[in-house]
Amino acid sequence: MTMTHQEPLLAIEDLHAAYGLSRVLFGVSLQVDAGECVCLLGRNGVGKTTTMRSVMGFLPPTGGRILWKGTNIAGWSPHRVARAGIGFVPEDRRIFAELTVWENLDVAARAAKRDGKWTIKAVYELFPILPELRGRRGGFLSGGEQQMLTIARTLMGNPELLLLDEPSEGLAPLVVEALLVHIRALKKQGMTILLAEQGVDFSLALADRVYVLEKGTIRYTGPAGELRDDQKLRNHLLSL
């Protein structure tokens, strides 16, 4: 774990969460520093999405703390978390299907009420495909276009941390390539990102640090480079 003297932007401590009686997270701890891209890696059903939903306030944790700039936000309502500066890009994209591209972005700006550098003009620059589609309804976009709109929509709230849940899921390889370029550009602009992924290549191409999640606990944590270079370790952690 990188040692920094400043406070981490997000620190999750011993997080426990459950859907009813079925427990999903068993003491997950992780932290994200400002400017970092951290990846939560793991197979389907290990608790990546649950961790993100707990941070967002959709699923109040049954134990542990979620510290956002030092304040415990566990149990806050989603809109309060969003207004505090955490932007969520859900895996199923959740575009407002009957609103146009422009309306989707406008609604997001009104929802978060956070001013900053991300305006409609700025997200159009990051995703040049969007201005061409501005009048099209969200439901009529391709999967890749929707994924870009979802990220752009979340950016409209000027978040300080972006939670990206499985952005590459269900997209064609070429589209994933394009998405990678966009997210990397975002990272270069200084955006802090917590990424949940099953795709090892995708996440290792972006992440500075990696947490490998298994059955609701952190099994490995280290710099992404270590996992990238060590085929054996990667197989050991991820092919089980």
Partner 1 sequence: MSPSFLFSQFMGGLTTAMFLFLIASGLSLVFGVMRVINFAHGSFYMFGAYLAWQAVQWLHPTGGGFWLAALLAALAVGLLGALTERLFFRSLYGREELYQLLFTYALVLILGDAAKFLWGTDQLSISTPPALAGSVQVLGTTQPLYTLFIIAIGPAIAFGLWLLLNRTGAGRMVRAAQMDREMLDALGANVGTIYTGMFALSAFLAGLSGALVTPIQSIVPGMDVLIIVQAFIVVVIGGMGSLWGTFWGSVIYGQVLSFGILIFPGFSLFSVFALMAVILIVRPWGLFGRPL
Q: Does 78 bind partner 1 (CB under 8 A)?
A: yes
Q: Does 108 bind partner 1 (CB under 8 A)?
A: yes
Answer for which of 18, 34, 111, 178 binds partner 1 (CB under 8 A) is 111
Nearest to 139 by CA among 93, 197, 207, 188: 93
Compare residues 51 and 212 and give the one whose CB is closer to partner 1. 51
DSSP letter string, 124-172 = HHHSTHHHHTTTSBGGGS-HHHHHHHHHHHHHTT--SEEEEE-TTTT--
Answer for which of 61, 64, 90, 167 binds partner 1 (CB under 8 A) is 90
Nearest to 118 by CA among 184, 190, 68, 177: 190
Answer for which of 103, 208, 214, 226 binds partner 1 (CB under 8 A) is 103
Q: Does 31 bind partner 1 (CB under 8 A)?
A: no
Residue 189's alpha-carbon distances to 18, 36, 193, in angstroms, are 36, 11, 11
Sole window of 106-114, 122-130, 176-184, 219-227 interacting with partner 1 (rule: CB under 8 A): 106-114
Answer for which of 10, 30, 82, 191 binds partner 1 (CB under 8 A) is 82
d(CA 166, CA 170): 9
Compare residues 112 and 176 and give the one whose CB is closer to partner 1. 112
**Strand duo 161-165 + 192-197: pairing:** parallel
Q: Which residue's entry shows tokens 């009813």?
A: 20
Distant-in-sequence, close-in-space partners of 60: CB < 8 Å, separation ≥ 6: 54, 74, 75
Tokens of 26: 């068993």
Sole window of 28-36, 73-81, 171-179, 209-217 interacting with partner 1 (rule: CB under 8 A): 73-81
d(CA 115, CA 127): 20
Q: Does 184 bind partner 1 (CB under 8 A)?
A: no
Q: Does 26 bind partner 1 (CB under 8 A)?
A: no
Answer for which of 25, 28, 76, 153 binds partner 1 (CB under 8 A) is 153
Q: Where do the H-state alpha helices sit in 25-100?
A: 48-56, 78-84
Q: Does 60 bind partner 1 (CB under 8 A)?
A: no
Nearest to 170 by CA among 134, 197, 195: 197
- Interface mask toward partner 1 for 185-224; x: CB under 8 A: ----------------------------------------
Q: Does 23 bind partner 1 (CB under 8 A)?
A: no
Residues near partner 1 (CB under 8 A): 56, 58, 77-79, 82-83, 88, 90, 94, 96-99, 103-104, 106-108, 110-114, 153-154, 156-157
